[in-house]
Amino acid sequence: MVNTAHIISGKQKILVVDSKQSVLTSRLKQYLKKYDNDVYFSPNLPPGLTIFDFCFLINDDTFIRRRNELGRWQSVILIYTKNSKKAWNTAKTIEKEKIPHVKIIHCLDAHSYTESMIEEIIWFSLSKSKEIYLSVRTHVSSDRHLHTVPQIKNNMSFTYKIFGYIEKLISKKNITLVALFAIFVYHTAFLLPLVPAGLSAHKAIKEMEDGKYKVAAQHIKDGEQYVTSAKQLYNLARPTFLLFSLAQIPDDIFSIHERIIKVINISQILQEDTHQLFSFVFKKNKTADEKKQTSDIIILVQKNVSKLEEHLIYLNQKIPTSLSITKPYKESLTSAIHLLGKTKKIVPFFSELIAYKNEKKYLLLFANNMELRPGGGFIGSYGVVSMKDLTFEDLSIYDVYDADGQLTAHIPPPPAIRDYLSQPHWFLRDSAFSPDFYENYYQAKYFLAKEKQFSEFDGGILITTSAIKNILKAYGDLYLPDFNEKVNSDNFYIKTQLYAEKEFFPGSTQKKSFLSAVTRQILINMDTVSQREILLQIIKSAEEKQIAFYLEEENLQKIIDSFYWSGRIIEPFCPSQVENCYTDFLFPYDANLGVNKANFFVNRKMDVKIHIDEEGFVHTYLNIHFRNESLQDIFPGGVYRNYLQILVPRNSLIKQITVADKPVTNYDQEIGQFKRVGFFFEIPIQSQKNITIEYKSLKAFDRGRSIYQLLFQKQTGSINNDLNLEITLPSNMFLVNQNFSPLVKHNQIIYNTNLSTDKIFFIELLKD
């Protein structure tokens, strides 16, 4: 792009003052008149400048001295063609005395001035930049980019000080110091252009985190000239750095910048490919060529995800961990690498998921976790997703009462539903009564086969109300024309309940229609929002157990299980080479049987205390603090009627269970893979209760090295509550290692965290 100066408005009054009417003056007058300006020439500076829009003073010596008598000027440009020192001294005076609207140009005298030189002078003179000094070279290439000119000094006061210091040294003929200073500058000059290059990289990273890849690419491009200059300067000094084994750090800096450029470029390509892939998947009646393009894009995405992961791992290894300024970058990189690692494993199965050359059906179960059940929540609606040959064919949503109304067979319910919900029959709406989604999925399929004759599903997905709220964050306000409503993450639950409960009657389709409208608008607006943000919110929901997946494709399901996205009960195990090991296990899960949405108002906090006695037996105490903040006993809040179940190790002895400090003697107990205890209690509105369970291991730690691990599982659909862990060791046991960062004080190990997902705590001990 060529520098081009445009006069913004015509008939501006421009004065050119030159005592000799040089070639430069003639060229300036000629150029300015092309744009229909009134150009005036004077050999001497007139007594006033107020009537002129621009004043060009060529080699003038009087302006600084006479400035107070010249009135108020618009813009003055002082051009010096011979004496560079005078130009510098004038610039210092202007900056020191803060004289406004004055710019200095040093332009070597020439017999002819090229068009590009005049363009550069005019462009700088008319620009609104804060720089006041420009040095124009006598030969400027015509294809010079706008962002590379002028060569402006950004920090003049600093430069003046450096030059003054050099002059002082030379005046004292201190040749040794001058030589040392020159050597220092020679070897560190490359650092100066690295500063703006680093700022450009920082801006690019921030924009990329916000999904603005094109803006990030532009920031990197803006910094390339500085990196090029820095690299040229560094290559001159690098032999010295190699000699003293100091080249590793600057080499890493340049390689880090190169990797950042690659990361941003690949991220931009991935974003474009993902956007196109979404468009193809949702486009029906695709041609054979479009289907091939869809397959090709999936392959490209797979390759670029691997490349991106490789570059991010390199950056994570190279960026130091000891500097506080790099800590946020390290955390972001670690999170991104974790996410890409999972994405890389799933992408190869994507063609299979969207039914390449066949058809697939997936069952969606919408669980309202404001009425929490062991498997995520009350099933209020369900849907069927149809995929055919790389194409999203259809999504149908049904109200659960439509299906349950067609159940003619009697299916005995779990005892808690029979006893505390007073429900003699079991229906699809209550099917999520296991803490394991695998069991709930097959139970839901069984109900649908009986009620609607639906069968042959290729997998199931549980989606809680919280998950839909997360996904809506990517959309902002979503307009539903059928209801004349705007839905967003904040009001989705309230709006859903309004249409679910308002004027409800058996056979009502309001809720089904509302959820269908929300889903339809989510799909329609897929092209207008960030697919990256949607994917991040889906993954966040899966990580926090607000979405659970089960797929009939065995190899893919193994991967999902390894991510802990399948809502399964995890079976802990000891390392095979360690015999002296105890695996503790805690999995508390609620069942709101109050026929209300009280979980919207219920908060929980959990404390786990582990005490190992002198003999080596492990005593575990779990305290759950419930608080019901419902304001009144009407829907959607009210009394929290909870059937709480807790899984503990099979080989453990239950010592005591209390509710509000009162012992519970009548509780359900079952021994299978784990020992399960269950009991019912109520929390009135604006009340709180503590629930405790204490149990003891049946086997003690032997002397020597031992392993203790605690697996604490989070209930699908539950909120992210606080978890406090305290482990107390006896005097004859010592902490050797752990997989978390606790506060260790004497014989106590203390750790506070947020139960956003399943937690595994691992400690290595030594017993005398």
In the chain, which residues fall in CATH 2.60.40.3680?
A: 581-767
Q: Where are the beta strands (DSSP E) in 613-686?
A: 618-628, 640-648, 652-659, 662-663, 668-671, 675-683
pLDDT value of residue 519:
83
pLDDT value of residue 623:
98
- State mean pLDDT over 94-103: 89
Asked if 12 and 53 count as a contact pair (C-beta separation under 8 A), the reply is yes
Lowest mean pLDDT: which of 131-140, 155-164, 568-577, 586-595?
155-164
- Integer CA distances (angstroms), 528 to 129, 478, 753, in order: 37, 11, 37
Question: What percentage of the chain carries pLDDT values higher than 90?
Answer: 51
- Distance in angstroms (rounded) separating the CA atoms of residues 233 and 245: 18
In the chain, which residues fall in CATH 3.40.630?
A: 358-527+545-561
Instruction: Give the tens place of pLDDT for each residue, 377-424.
Output: 999 999 999 999 999 999 999 989 989 999 989 999 999 999 999 999
Name the pLDDT band for 753 (thresholds 50, 70, 90): very high
pLDDT value of residue 143:
38
Q: Is the pLDDT confidence value at 91 over 50?
A: yes
Residue keyed to tokens 């000699």: 243
Q: Is the pLDDT confidence value at 700 over 80?
A: yes
Type of residue at 242 = L
pLDDT value of residue 126:
82
Q: Where are the beta strands (DSSP E) in 418-477?
A: 459-464
- Distance in angstroms (rounded) separating the CA atoms of residues 149 and 118: 13
- State mean pLDDT over 644-651: 96
Higher pLDDT among residues 346 and 205, named by residue: 346
pLDDT value of residue 506:
45
Q: Is the pLDDT confidence value at 717 over 80?
A: yes
pLDDT value of residue 447:
95
pLDDT value of residue 171:
52
Q: Which two tokens stand for residue 187?
A: 């070897």
pLDDT value of residue 110:
64
Higher pLDDT among residues 52 and 300, named by residue: 300
- Integer CA distances (angstroms), 173 to 32, 177, 178, 214, in order: 49, 9, 9, 54
Which of 17-26, 339-348, 434-443: highest mean pLDDT?
434-443
- State mean pLDDT over 104-126: 80
pLDDT value of residue 208:
82
Please give the DSSP secondary-structure letter assigned to residue 592: B
Asked if 70 and 49 count as a contact pair (C-beta separation under 8 A), the reply is yes
Lowest mean pLDDT: which of 86-100, 126-140, 574-588, 637-651?
126-140
pLDDT value of residue 509:
47
Q: Where are the beta strands (DSSP E) in 552-639?
A: 581-589, 602-612, 618-628
Q: What is the CA radius of gyration of the chain?
A: 37
Q: Is the pLDDT confidence value at 468 over 50?
A: yes
- State mean pLDDT over 497-510: 56
Q: Is the pLDDT confidence value at 314 over 60?
A: yes
CATH code of the region 13-162:
3.40.50
What's the mean per-residue pLDDT of the chain?
87
Q: Is the pLDDT confidence value at 504 over 70?
A: no
- State mean pLDDT over 434-438: 97
pLDDT value of residue 343:
92
Lowest mean pLDDT: which of 481-485, 566-570, 719-723?
481-485
Residue 252 neighbours by CB distance under 10 Å: 14
Q: Give the CATH class of 581-767.
A: mainly beta
Instruction: Give the tens place of pLDDT for each residue, 515-538.
Output: 888 888 888 788 778 888 888 899
Question: What percentage of the chain carries pLDDT values higher than 70?
Answer: 92
Residues in a beta bridge with 737: 764
In the chain, which residues fall in CATH 3.40.50?
A: 13-162
pLDDT value of residue 148:
34
pLDDT value of residue 46:
87
358-527+545-561: in CATH 3.40.630: yes
Which of 58-62, 167-171, 659-663: highest mean pLDDT?
659-663
pLDDT value of residue 144:
36
